[in-house]
Amino acid sequence: MPIEIPGPRVIVVEKELKLNEEFFIKGPSFRALLLREPRRGEAITVVDLKGREFRARLLEITPEKAKAVVFEEQLRTEPSFELWLLQALPDKERMELIIQKTTELGVHVIIPFKSSRSISLEEREARQKKAHRWPHVALRATKQCRRAFLPYVAPYCNFQEALESVDPSFLKIMLYENAQAKFREALSTLSKAKGIAILVGPEGGWSEEEVDCAKRVGFLPCKIGNRILRTETAAILACALSLFQFNEL
């Protein structure tokens, strides 16, 4: 079953905003604010009724609402389609790097999973527990690049669960070094859809069974270039190219 993004993850103000205007954040938008671990005096990104993005400073925070003041309008930070990254769990601290950089680029959902040739979460956590930090890595990157949307880092899962988590209407691309199709050429033949899901494997590559399984659920195997890239490089590059193709970078 496709996963549902727990939300809301955008702070929406149900009115048209203007510079120097004070406003309240309540209801679902207040819950979205709380996901950001807000502090009084902090600058946040909000979206008004017309879809415009503004920077606002938090003046007050109570248990039920917050008060802020607009100080700047900014260019839109969010792509017009959802970008999902399905990432085979890499060794060491590469997952943290992938989450940070793809968040900065504009990814919406990151799904870490176990493939046949990747390290397991249990093996990685046995050395040093880090997975609990993944949402915080996404949060810090979101604040740094002033995004309106806070990406969702989904719970670690197996390969089949990762495949089944994607909405059937999404464009689905599997990075595979032995594929005939090229990533950028495949993107150029596609029209913008509701979302794009990119499936990235481990350093050891995919098994033939995994390639066949992904193809059966609609993933198109593509190679991203003539050189073999590290998994973190491939993930970051694929997200960047997808956004660039549709003028969303």
Q: What is the pLDDT of residues 191-240, one digit of tens each?
A: 767 899 999 999 889 999 999 999 999 999 999 988 889 999 999 999 99
Is 38 a residue whose pLDDT tops 80?
Answer: yes
Please give the pLDDT value at position 83.
96
Please give the pLDDT value at position 242.
94
The token pair that represents 86 in the structure block: 């399905």
Alpha-carbon gap, residue 148 to 59, rounded angstroms: 19
The structure's pTM equals: 0.94
Q: What are the residue ranges spanned by the domains of the chain? A: 22-74, 82-245
User: Domain 82-245 adopts which CATH fold?
Assistant: Alpha/beta knot (3.40.1280)
Its CATH architecture, for the domain 22-74, is Beta Barrel (2.40)
| Percentage with pLDDT > 90 across the chain | 81
Alpha-carbon gap, residue 2 to 157, rounded angstroms: 13
For the chain, first and last CA: distance in Å?
30
Same fold, 22-74 and 82-245: no
What are the distances in angstroms from CA 180 to CA 110, 173, 210, 219, 222? 26, 13, 17, 14, 7
Q: What is the pLDDT of residues 63-110, one digit of tens each?
A: 999 999 999 999 999 999 999 999 999 988 899 999 999 999 999 999
